[in-house]
Chains A and B, each alone.
Chain A
């Protein structure tokens, strides 16, 4: 399992690299003309592309982060591996849930939300 987790953490980091760069680039581009919620929603609502982009971001982050947290907890606490696995897996699902919820909130159109 350790080898799989090690590999998964590196592969998700590889995927997160370009995703983070695009995200930062978008921020720099978006704030040029001032930043408003309406402007952001105009870009994201109804956009399958942004939904897929941030959906992938959320999935990768919710896998990558908990593995790193698991490593930190294993090195720095006396908690059992079983408990650490449980806690970090829970943290991963929490990230996935709130992340996907946020992606849906900014990419769904007003009609989709009310419907």
Chain B
């Protein structure tokens, strides 16, 4: 058996992991510290070496799928791209499930309420052309297209939803990701339901409920700014749909 050189002469991390559902507890584990170690690596090591029944969720491990988000030392993070060294607090790593979502087991949450908000915000894209028609001619430099492009690339990780204080006290609130999606659609000339999406984004629990605290933008792992998208929606309150 070859010696794993990365664990020789290294200190051990103290990792506290949430076990159970709502009435669970933090359980401590000792995990060897390694170079270039992500939080997901730590969770995987605990599951493989200490606690085979530990429930957690991941898929791509490279920051694309958005499935591995957890609360790390009190902050929502995409764990596959979060280095332990950057979030370690006095040598302790506390890993809990995301906030604002129902817990299933250990580090796994039920994402249904988060996904439902996308429907509430009128998020499905409705095309107006068939495959037999020419594609829409969109100017990539137009103001609307730039606004839409700025909000794309969301990976649905629910970090913003977990970070948002308004979501924590107002369960009717659509939340940052859904409203960000709505803003990209109302600026998309190809979307056939722009007015409907706009109306839904301004409905009960819509963008008017946002307190502009900016936690969503601060924590978004890929650097989107849902705050800016929501501000765009709010600014459209007077004159209606933006021109596309």
Contacts and interface: CB of A to CB of B under 8 A. Distances in A.
B30 interface: no
Secondary structure class of chain A's binding surface, majority of residues: helix
Interface residues of B, number: 12
A75 B170 contact: yes
Contacts of B60: none
A2 B170 contact: no
Interface stretch (A3-11, A30-38, A105-113): A3-11
Contact of A2 (B169, B202, B238): B202
B152 interface: no
Contact of B237 (A10, A71, A75, A81): A10
Interface in B172-221: 199, 202-204, 206, 208-209
Interface of B: 169-170, 199, 202-204, 206, 208-209, 234, 237-238
Interface of A: 2-3, 5-7, 10, 71, 74-76, 81
19 contacts: A2-B202, A2-B203, A2-B206, A2-B208, A3-B199, A3-B202, A3-B208, A3-B237, A5-B208, A6-B202, A6-B234, A6-B237, A7-B237, A7-B238, A10-B237, A71-B209, A75-B170, A75-B209, A81-B204
